[in-house]
Amino acid sequence: MSPQAQDEGARPKRSWLPQDRVEPLPDDAPLWMPPGFGRKRIKWSTLSYVVVDELSPEVAALVVTEWPRLDRKGRLRFPGSTWRVGASVEELDAALLGRRLPGVTLGLSPGRTVVSEVDPAQTRAIRIGDAFAVVVKRPPGRITAVPALSRWLQPPIYDVSADARDAAKAALYAAVAPTMSEADVGEIAAEAMDLKL
């Protein structure tokens, strides 16, 4: 084996994967305000973000974290630590039934009158990826794997699942789609103008 081959074997090879480019989240990063809640006066900073991570017929595995903030690119970032807790699916369904507070519940009927829509989130069973904004009090000391909800979760419960899914899709698309340059945007705009002529 040549000395050059030995040296190459000793050095770690450069990975083609991108290096960690996550910028630190500034202390004054704004809180995420789910768009579906419009102008509702909700003090998001007092709420925790709870997401259904795993689900069996009897138990839902939940991940609880501080309310997310936005980085300078508008992506959701979750500061602080997370903790996991189990919840009885039956108890969680009962707690959510009719108590989920959706964002937009009013619409216009064909006759242009305001009507209240029946939100399907109010009646469907929980599923993986459902996310909620809720006041959470982490139980002190050792807790059982599936503590009673009343020990750590307080209503009201805001169902932010739709907005959270939209935010996740936007982050995925931003990660896999290339960013267009100003020249590319100008070229597309010029082609669009030519098509209108």
Burial of residue 134 (CB within 10 Å: 0-12, 13-18, 19+) is buried
Domain boundaries, position 82 = 28-196
SS3 assignment, position 99:
coil
**How far, in whole angstroms, is CA 175 from its chain's centroid?**
16
Tokens (6 digits) for 180: 């267009």
Is 162 among the domain residues?
yes
Give domain status of residue 11, yes or no.
Answer: no
pTM here is 0.68
The reply to whether 4 falls in a domain is no
Chunked into runs of 10 residues, the chain (197 residues) has average pLDDT values of 52 59 77 84 91 93 92 84 90 78 45 44 77 86 77 86 86 73 82 71
Asked, for residue 13, whether it belongs to a domain, the answer is: no
- Residue 130 resides in a domain: yes
> Are the C-beta atoms of residues 114 and 108 closer than 8 Å to each other?
yes
Residue of 143, 133, 167 lying closest to 64 (CA atoms): 133
For residue 62, with 0-12 CB atoms within 10 Å meaning exposed, 13-18 middle and 19 or more buried, which class applies? buried
**Domain for residue 16, yes or no?**
no
Cis previous bond, 156, omega within 30? yes
DSSP conformation class of 31: B
The answer to whether residue 9 is domain-embedded is: no
Q: Token pair for residue 168? A: 């996740």
> According to the model, what pLDDT value does residue 109 have?
42
- Degrees to nearest 5, angle at CA 110 with 105 and 114: 35
Rg, Å, the chain Cα set: 23
Asked whether residue 8 is assigned to any structural domain, the reply reads no
pLDDT of residue 51: 94
Number of domains in the chain: 1
